[in-house]
Amino acid sequence: MLADRYDAFLFDLDGVIVVGDRPVDGAVDALARLRDRGTPIRFVTNNSRSTREALCAHLRDLGIEARVEEMYTAASATAAHLADAGADSVYVLGDDGFAAEMSRHGVTPTDGRAGGDSVIEDAADAVAVGLDRTATYDKLATATRLIRERGAAFVAANDDNAYPTDEGIAPGTGALVAALRTATGREPTVVGKPHPELFERAMSGLDGEVAMVGDSLASDVEGARRAGIESIYVTAHARAEDEGPAPDATVDTPAGLFDPEC
């Protein structure tokens, strides 16, 4: 069975562990069984809106054990990227959870959010782009000037085009990134899946064979390929319009990790 084949697992959250406000069938039990075996688990999500604490609390509410140090989000990895690059200040195009992760990594949001004590909009070491549901033309203009005229680094949590909501499809982080790419003529550093940096951070400290368990061929399976690890594709909530490389294994739900036939 797949649970025996790998030494550690990376799990995508949306569509693999949770779907909306409930756990995916089999996810609670599969994670508990992996923990009973002592198999290391990491959660790897392109979520750029929530703090790791908030995501862990959500999982715990659903009966899933989760620790902050196991949670790797596009937000936390972007903040870690900027901290490692020596950035002290950042103009955040993103929700409050994204700004909070910056602050927790010692990079001060210049708009006064998340503990920043002053509002300084004409200088920042970097512009960080996440999903910003209150994005305005003025915010895009400030980010454009910082990148193009003030030499700020241009870093994006992910470049996801769109995502489903209760009201229908909505623009993703990648739509904001595209606006800034067009306005500045610069290419951002993209941290989240399928780019390798989020995987590399999540895999640090793990030994042996690691598998990525995800419901997106374009994001999880392609990201695993680029990171040099195997992938297990979970189909129960996968989207029809999704293209990417072939996974190493396919299961219906995370319960498939313990299927003796796989």
Catalytic residues: 12, 14
Nearer to Mg ion, 15 or 247 (CB): 15
Angle between helix 74-84 and helix 196-203 axes, rounded to 10 deg: 90
Cα–Cα nearest to 83, from 101, 63, 105, 61? 105
Instruction: Compare residues 160 and 197 and give the one whose CB is closer to Mg ion.
Output: 160
Q: How far apart are CA 18 and CA 28, in angstroms?
A: 10
The CB-of-164 to Mg ion minimum distance in angstroms stands at 11
Tell me whether residue 139 or residue 195 sits nearer to Mg ion (CB atom): 195
Q: Give the residue closest to Mg ion by C-beta.
A: 15
The least CB distance from residue 174 to Mg ion, in Å, is 15
Site string for Mg ion, 8-37 (x = CB under 5 A): ----x-xx----------------------
Site map (CB under 5 A) of Mg ion, residues 179-218, x = contact: ------------------------------------x---
- CB of 160 vs Mg ion, minimal distance in Å: 10
Pull the structure tokens for residue 127.
Answer: 């512009």
CB atoms within 10 A of CB 118: 8
Binding mask 99-128 for Mg ion (x = CB under 5 A): ------------------------------
C-beta separation of 101 from 90 below 8 A: no
CB of 208 to Mg ion, least distance (A): 24
Taking the C-alpha atoms of residue 222 and residue 69, their distance in angstroms, rounded to an integer, is 24
Binding to Mg ion in span 212-231, by CB under 5 A = 215
160 lies in the binding site for Mg ion (CB under 5 A): no
Comparison of 142 and 253: residue with beta carbon closer to Mg ion: 253
DSSP alpha helix (H) spans, the chain: 2-5, 27-37, 52-61, 74-84, 96-104, 137-149, 173-184, 196-203, 222-227
Percentages of the chain per state (helix, strand, coil), in multiples of 5: 35, 20, 40
CA-nearest of 52, 59, 69 to 23 is: 59
Tell me how many residues contact Mg ion (CB under 5 A): 4
How many angstroms separate the CA atoms of 12 and 212, rounded?
8
Closer to Mg ion by Cβ: residue 215 or 248: 215
Residue 138: CB atoms within 10 A of its CB come to: 9
In the bound complex, what is the minimum distance in angstroms from residue 136's beta carbon to Mg ion? 28
**Where do contacts with Mg ion occur on this chain (CB under 5 A)?**
12, 14-15, 215
